[in-house]
Amino acid sequence: MRQDLHDLTGVTYLVGSADIAAAMPAVPALPPFDGRILDFLNAAAKVLLADREAKAYPDVVTFAFWIRGASTKKLKERFCREEGHVRLGRGVAFHIAPSNVPVNYAYSLTAGLLTGNANIVRVPSKDFPQVGIIDRALQSVLDMPEYGEMKRRVCLVRYGRDKAVNDAFSAMADTRVIWGGDATIAEVRKSPLPPRGSEVTFADRFSLAVIDADGYLAREDKDHIAQDFYNDTYLTDQNACTSPRMVIWTGGKREEAKSEFWRRLHDLVRKKYTFQSIQGVNKLTSGYLAAVSREGIRVEPHEDNLLVRVHVPALDGGIMDLKDNSGYFFEYDCNDILELAPLCDDNRCQTISYLGDKDMLRPLLAAGVRGIDRIVPIGKTMDFDLIWDGYDLVSRLTRTVAVG
Amino acid sequence: MTFEELLQIPPYSLGHEEKHALLTERLLGLTEHHLAHCPEYRRMLDSVGYDSGSISGYEDLPFLPVRLFKELSLRSVPQEDVVKTMTSSGTTGQAVSRIYLDRTTSANQQKTMVKIVSDFLGASRLPMIILDCPSVVKDRNMFSARGAGILGFSIFGARKIYALDDDMRLDVDGLRAFLEKFQGQDVLLFGFTFMVWQHFYKELVRLKEQGVTFDLSRGILIHGGGWKKLASEAVSPQEFHDRLRDVCGLDRIHDYYGMVEQTGCIYMQCECGHLHASVFSDVIMRRSLDFGVCGVGEPGIIQVVSTIPESYPGHSLLTEDEGVLLGEDDCPCGRKGKYFKINGRLKNAEIRGCSDTYAARFA
């Protein structure tokens, strides 16, 4: 039996209401990339890009650019090529966003909207300013008469870890999207979905970077590369699923490349990163734990605790269980790309960011590894796309009507 | 110098140079000992390229984060020589430190403690009131920090009573009888800071309102275990002292700093309110950014070194506490060596990332 959403305590509707959420199962689904949705998102982008406060948050600005008409039009071109059958949103999408990334919930909502669904999104429990800015923008567009129809498609909610609430929203979900990793997935899965309900889960992952030493040394824009790598790592305390935890060096002049690369990164970290005292203790602990676990581990001499590198002499599947964050890198000298197979033959292995020729990674895919869902240039690890974590979200969040 | 010889030195008698030479020799020796007998320790030191030739003083020696003792079983003696395994009093569900003691290390812990505490209490044993319940020391196989602390200090008591029953209720009649029996004598009281406040001080306040009072003006209270819980009740060390004095006349109060990973080498608070390092151990405050050594007055992460540990590689440890060195060899109380204060625990890191942090939430 479905619980009356009005009876749930502890749920705050930041956008929408219990009435709107309760009526969602009756909202008509739309085909993906419907013009009304693209217009609505474009209007929200305009509000955000004009928002003075939003300018202080690069993640909000990036999101605003992603939902602009020009950007969604490109997505539409990429994802709407099929002929002969009809696609529609699945119906009600219930999203659980991660608690410690400010704008991820907005991307998840957008994916749900673009695919024609009505969306209930649990936003981060932490009171990020970004959430307030984005919610305000969405609300202001929803309040415009021309977008009134959209109101019934968006509910943003905040609540504690409350199974009763998860139960209620899950019971009405045609699809459920769970971010936040293994523990959150296990928690939310205690709440059953209807028999036809589908699910997309974003589990705990790890990522790697592969750098061709000679290619790097030949590049003129080394400071720019340092900035890109910084954005991939330190910007999220090197703790996003996409952040490389290990740097793998290929090519000839590795030592020269390493010293250039790390020196420039270190300079940047010193200028930009907010260091917390306990992080130094954490990295010291992690380095020693790694040293005990395997023979031949070497903690590279470091001038301070901002950047700690741990040389690993051989790769095996378990080494990533010892990963740490906030500027703690495993490092490996690679002579044959297939040496990475034990690392990548693990369905937790997500993104490989590269500097050099991406084709060097193809033999790994050809080897049939269980991991690697994305191969992107360094600096692009955080760029959200509708193909994410190995899922084509457009197909996962829609259903296909076979028309014979 | 052997540990037995070291024990002959009065605990607060050495100035900087002498103590530095002494500790460097002993701690270098312990480092070599653990390198030879603890394979995990050897791997750790190999990983950072440890070279004894480059050590000019004990501040150059590597230090292990205390958390490693929660993650690993670190021993420098065969399992059959272990006579005691001490554990830290972790909150339920949290990992606890496991510290392995052989006969020698265990005995040296106790001897060291006697030397240090006697400097404050005098040589003769005193009637002792333990401000805790008897059950906390019952299970001798698994010593918790609280149990170990009580047993450690019990050697300073001639006649002992536990002031609390196993339901943590104050034994009013027992306490009264004990105090009457030893009227006019110094009495030692020992307990953990939070227990003293919660189950002793608060009860005395309640009793006083009913007209029941106790005179503890001949009492000497030694307490430890940290201020974290009391800080959440907004009780400062000064207020702790003042209010105990007001309710029962207790005025000789010594906090101490210590940890299960270096039992024996405790840091006692002197009459001037400063924590003191004895000749058996030392503190080094380190900058979090690069682990460089802090100057006087500069807050840093506390490294502790101890001359005792032979059965486990815990002679040089990095705590997760922050402290400030107040001076060396010149405390007005007359004791030599470093004196310092504790600022509290380092904060957990606030880390961004896609995976929700359950553990931190429920810790």
CB atoms within 10 A of CB B17: 9
Query: B125: left (phi > 0), else alpha (psi -120 to 50), else beta?
Result: beta
CA atoms within 13 A on the CB side of A153: 27
> Are B163 and B113 within one domain?
yes
Q: Do B288 and A280 touch (CB under 8 A)?
A: yes
CA A260 to chain centre: 29
The mean pLDDT of A23-31, rounded to a whole number, is: 97
Identify which of A326, A324, A322 has the alpha carbon closest to the alpha carbon of residue A233. A326
| pLDDT category of residue B101 using cuts at 50, 70 and 90 | very high
Q: Is the pLDDT confidence value at A262 over 90?
A: yes
Interface test with B, best of A178, A277, A311, A322 (most B CBs within 10 A): A277
DSSP one-letter string for B132-164: S-GGGGT-SSEE-HHHHHHHHHHTTEEEEEESB
CA–CA distance, B154 with B190 (Å, rounded to integer): 9
DSSP letter for each residue of B288-355: TTT-PBP-TT-EEEEEEEES--SSSS-SEEEEEEEEEEEEES--TT---SEEEEEEEEPPPP---SSS
Q: What's the gap in Å between the CA of B291 and the closest CA on chain A?
A: 8
Q: Which domain holds residue B304?
A: 1-81+274-344
CB neighbour burial string for A348-366, b if at least 16 within 10 angstroms, e if fewer? bbbbbbbbbeeebbeebee
From B160, B158, B219, select the one nearest B184 (Cα to Cα). B219
Q: Are residues B140 and B286 in the same domain?
A: no
Contact A299, A287 (CB under 8 A): yes
Confidence band, pLDDT 50/70/90 cuts, at residue B177: very high
Summarize the confidence of residues A101-122 as an average pLDDT: 97
Q: Do A181 and B71 touch (CB under 8 A)?
A: no
Same domain, B130 and B249: yes
Q: Do residue A280 and residue B291 have CB atoms under 8 angstroms apart? A: yes
pLDDT at A364 (0 to 100): 95
CATH architecture observed for domain A206-377: 3-Layer(aba) Sandwich (3.40)
Q: Tell me the sheet residues that pair with B162.
A: B130
Of A183, A205, A298, the CB nearest to B47: A298
Above 70 in pLDDT, residue B89? no
Predicted confidence band of residue B363 (pLDDT cuts 50, 70, 90): very low
Instruction: Give residue B92's pLDDT.
Output: 53
The per-residue pLDDT for B91 is 54
Does residue B361 surpass a pLDDT of 50?
no
Find, among A219, A221, A261, the residue nearest to A244 by Cα: A261
- Scan for tokens 């800071």, then name that residue: B193
Q: How far apart are alpha carbons A358 and A351 in whole angstroms?
A: 13
Assess whether B233 and B280 both reside in one domain: no
Q: How far apart are CA B158 and CA B188, in angstroms?
A: 10
Same domain, yes or no, for B113 and B234? yes
Say what the pTM is: 0.92
Residues B107, B238, single domain; the answer is yes
Q: Which of A15-19, B20-24, B92-96 comes out lowest in average pLDDT?
A: B92-96
User: To which residue do tokens 């869902």 refer?
Assistant: A373
pLDDT, tens digit, for every residue of A332-343? 999 999 999 999
The three state secondary structure string of A305-344 is CCCEEEECCCCCCCHHHHCCCCCEEEEEECCCHHHHHHHH
Residue A392 CA neighbour count, 13 Å, CB half: 9
Residue pLDDT, tens place only, A145-201: 999 999 999 999 999 989 999 999 999 999 999 999 999 999 999 999 999 999 999
List CB contacts (< 8 A) between B358 and chain A.
183-184
Same domain (yes/no): B43, B160: no
Question: Which residue of chain A has the CA closest to B303?
Answer: A281
Rounded (10°) CA dihedral B266, B267, B271, B273: -140
Residues 6+ apart with CB under 8 A from A321: none
Are the Cβ atoms of B347 and A277 closer than 8 angstroms? yes
CB contacts, 8 Å: B48 with chain A: 287, 291, 299
Is the distance from CB of B6 to CB of B22 less than 8 angstroms?
A: yes
Mean pLDDT score, A232-238: 94
B64 close to A (CB below 8 A): yes
Structural domain includes residue B51: yes
**CATH class for domain A5-202+389-401?**
alpha beta
* Direct distance between the N- and C-terminal alpha carbons of chain A, in angstroms, rounded to an integer: 36
Selecting from A180, A280, A290 the residue whose C-beta is nearest the C-beta of B355 gives A180
Pairing of strands B252-257, B299-306: unpaired
B189/B296 same-domain check:
no
In a domain, B213, yes or no: yes
* pLDDT for the residue numbered A277: 94
The answer to the question of residue B355 being in a domain is no
| Percentage of chain A modeled with pLDDT above 70 | 99
Tell me, yes or no, whether B126 lies in a domain: yes
If you average pLDDT over residues B58-72, what whole number do you get?
Answer: 97
Q: How far is CA A45 from CA A32, A35, A106, A364, B180, in A?
A: 19, 15, 12, 39, 81
Choose among A98, A295, A298: nearest Cβ to B354.
A98
Q: Which residue has the higher pLDDT, A402 or A378?
A: A378
Is A243 exposed, middle or buried (CB count within 10 Å of its CB: 0-12, 13-18, 19+)? buried
Q: Where are the domains of chain A?
A: 5-202+389-401, 206-377
Q: Examine the domain organization and report whether B44 and B166 are in the same domain.
A: no
Helix (H) and strand (E) counts in chain A: 15, 17
Say yes or no to pLDDT of A295 above 50: yes
Q: Which residue of B has its CA nearest to A236?
A: B352
Pair B237, B282 in one domain: no
d(CA B154, CA B148): 10
For B189-226, how does the pLDDT look when each residue is reduced to its tens digit (9 = 90+)? 999 999 999 999 999 999 999 999 999 999 999 999 88
Q: Is residue B124 part of a domain?
A: yes
Chain A with chain B: Cβ pairs closer than 8 A: 130
- Whether B239 and B282 share a structural domain: no
B151 confidence band (pLDDT: 50, 70, 90): confident
In whole angstroms, give the CA distance from residue A350 to residue B354.
13
In a domain, B15, yes or no: yes
How many domains does chain B divide into? 2
Judge: B352–A180 Cβ closer than 8 Å, yes or no.
no
ipTM of the prediction greater than 0.90, yes or no: yes
Q: What percent of chain B has pLDDT over 90?
A: 77
In a 10 Å sphere around its CB, with 0-12 CB exposed, 13-18 middle and 19+ buried, how is residue A130 labelled? buried
- Mutate: best of B318, B352, B358, partner A, most A CBs <10 A: B352
B202 and B291, same domain (yes or no): no
- Report the SS3 class of residue B268: strand
pLDDT of A38-81, one tens digit each?
A: 999 999 999 999 999 999 998 999 999 999 999 999 999 999 87
CATH value at residue B184: 3.40.50
In chain B, which ranges are continuous DSSP H helix? Answer: 3-7, 16-37, 39-47, 68-71, 103-121, 145-154, 172-181, 193-195, 202-209, 228-232, 237-248, 358-362
